[in-house]
Amino acid sequence: MALVNRLQCLSPSLSSTHFRKPKSVNFHPICSLYYDSSSYSSSPFTEKHSFERYQRDEWLYTNQVEKIACCSFPPDSDSIRQDDIALQLPELKRLLQVLREKRESEGCGGGKCGPGNVFLVGTGPGDPELLTLKAVRVIQNADLLLYDRLVSNEVLDLIGPEGRLLYVGKTAGYHSRTQEEIHELLLSFAEAGATVVRLKGGDPLVFGRGGEEMDFLQQQGIQVKVIPGITAASGIAAELGIPLTHRGVANSVRFLTGHSRKGGADPLFVAENAADTDSTLVLYMGLSTFPSVSQKLIHYGLPPNTPAVAVERGTTPQQRTVSTILRIKFFFFFFPLLRSYFVKAIN
C-alpha cells in the first residue's frame, strides 16, 4: 500500500515494507521541496513551503534542513506532498517508538494505562496574548503538536522544550495532509500514550473541522478535550472597535463560510436568507467568492450601500483593513451598524 495513501502504516502492527518511498523519478531529500522565502517573510503565519516552516519542524528532517537552499525549481504539488511525507516517516516512527518505551518504563505497557489524550486547541486570530491560560499550559506540556497554517508564529514559539511540531496545514491547491491522514496521526500518537495537541487558528469548532476530528477519535476510544479560542469574528471586531450586535441596529450575527465542501464557485446558497439588514454577516475564507456572494446578497435584498469591512491577518502587526460598501464586491464583514461609525465619519 502506498505510503501517502494510508498513515495507518505508523501502526506497529504493520511491516516496514509499508514505509517505501512514493514512486518518483527524481526523489531528492528536501531539495524536491520548493520554497520561496521572499514571498513569505512578512507573514505572521506558516506558509506552505517557507524556509521557516522547515526550520521549525527540523526534527523531522534530520541532517537535511540545510539542503533546502539547493531547491531551484517547483515540482508539482502532489510530488512535493509525497516527498515531504516520505521524508518525515522515519522520524515519526522513531518518536512513536520513544513514546511507547517511555510509557512502558512508567509501568503502562500493554495498554494498562489506556491511551493518551488529544486536545483540540483554538489559538485565536493571531495575537498570542489572546490565548487562554489553559491553552498555554497544554501547548507547553504537549509531546506532539499538529498545527495549521493560520496558527501564528508567536503562538508556536510557546511550545515546551520536549514538544515536537508537525505542520499539517491546508491552503488553496495544496494540502500538506489530507483530513484522513490527520485523523490517523492523531490516533497513532494517542494510542502510543502521547499528549497530542491539535492547534487550530481561531476556535476549533468554528469552521475548523474540529467536530470531524473529535468524532473520529471518540469512535476509536480516544478522549478528546476542546479548548476554545477567540474566533476571527470576535477578535477582529474587538480590534476594530465595532460590536457584532448593537441594540436597535443589529440584533443578530451570522457566521458564513466562503468555501464550499467540494470546491464550488458559490458556496453561499443560503444568500437568500442571509440578506438580512438587521444582522451582521461574517464571511470566513471568502477571497475567491467575493464577487458572486456580493451580487447574490444584493439580488436578495441587501442594499448595495451596506457598509463592509475587509480584514486580512487580523489582530497581528501585519493586519490590513479596507472599509467599503457591498457594491464594491470586496468585503469580509457586513455591518449594518457601520453606518453610525463610518458613514458619519466620511461625511
* Residue positions annotated with a catalytic role: 148, 170, 285
Element (H, E) at 181: helix 179-191
Sign of CA dihedral 173, 179, 180, 183: positive
The number of angstroms, rounded, from the C-alpha of 313 to the middle of its chain's C-alpha atoms is 14
- 227 in helix, strand or coil? strand
- Of the candidates 99, 262, 88, 54, the one whose C-alpha atom is nearest the C-alpha of residue 181 is 88
- Of the candidates 125, 100, 106, 115, the one whose C-alpha atom is nearest the C-alpha of residue 240 is 125
89 close to 108: Cβ distance less than 8 angstroms: no
Q: In what order do the strands lie in the sheet with 252-257?
A: 252-257, 279-284, 333-334, 307-312, 320-325
The number of angstroms, rounded, from the C-alpha of 242 to the middle of its chain's C-alpha atoms is 26
Q: Which three cell numbers stand for residue 256?
A: 458564513
Residues 6+ positions from 264 with CB-CB distance below 8 Å: none
Category of 114 on φ-ψ map: left (φ > 0), alpha (ψ -120 to 50) or beta: left
Report the alpha-carbon distance of residue 47 to residue 169 in Å, rounded.
9
| Other Cβ atoms within 10 Å of 262 Cβ, number | 6
Which pairing describes strands 196-200 and 118-122: parallel, antiparallel, or unpaired? parallel
- Of the candidates 208, 202, 282, 205, the one whose C-alpha atom is nearest the C-alpha of residue 235 is 202
204 φ/ψ angles, rounded to the nearest 5 degrees: -65, -20
Category of 102 on φ-ψ map: left (φ > 0), alpha (ψ -120 to 50) or beta: alpha
Report the alpha-carbon distance of residue 64 to residue 54 in Å, rounded.
10
